[in-house]
Amino acid sequence: QVQLEESGGGSVEAGGSLTLSCSHSVVTGSSQYCLAWFRQVPRKGREGIAFLSIDGSTDFAASVADRFTLSKDTANNRLFLQMTNLKPEDTAEYYCAAVFPRGDCPSVGSGTWEWPYWGQGTQVTISS
C-alpha cells in the first residue's frame, strides 16, 4: 500500500505557473512503484496527465506536454508537477496516484482502474 498526499494547489491567472507536490510513502510492499498525476473536472472522468516510471522516464498527455514537467526529491519521497503557461482549461482537482507494476508502468491513456492508490486531491483554479 502506498500513501499519497498532494499539496500546492491554488488560484492563479492564466499564463501563470504553479507547482504541485505529492508526498508518497510505502506502508506495505515494494519500494518500487510507479507514480502519476491525474486531474478531474466536475462531471468528467479523471484524466492522466503526467507519469513517472520506476526507471525515471516520464510521459505526458498531449494537452500538457509542452507546459508541464515532473521532478522528484528522492530523499524526501516527493514528486513535483511543475505547471507553466496555465490556461483556464487546466482548472481541475489534481490527484497523485501510485501502483506497484506487474510489468511496465501504466502511462498515457491508462485508466484510473490501473492505479489503486490515490491522494485526496488538490484544487487548481486558473482565471482568465
Give the residues across from 93 on adjacent strands: 40, 123
What's the pLDDT at 30?
Answer: 84
Q: By the 8 A CB rule, do 69 and 82 touch?
A: yes
Q: Strand 58-60 to strand 47-52: parallel, antiparallel, or no bridges (unpaired)?
A: antiparallel
Neighbours of 61 (CB within 10 A): 18
pLDDT(50) > 90: yes
In terms of Cα–Cα distance, which of 128, 19, 126 is closest to 83?
19
> What band does 31 get if pLDDT is binned at 50, 70 and 90?
confident
What average pLDDT score do residues 16-43 get?
Answer: 94
Q: Which percentage of the chain shows pLDDT scores above 90?
A: 95
What's the pLDDT at 28?
Answer: 86
> What band does 106 get if pLDDT is binned at 50, 70 and 90?
very high
What average pLDDT score do residues 1-28 get?
Answer: 96
Amino acid occupying residue 118: W
Cα torsion angle, 43, 47, 49, 51, sign? positive
pLDDT in tens, 51-105: 999 999 999 999 999 999 999 999 999 999 999 999 999 999 999 999 999 999 9
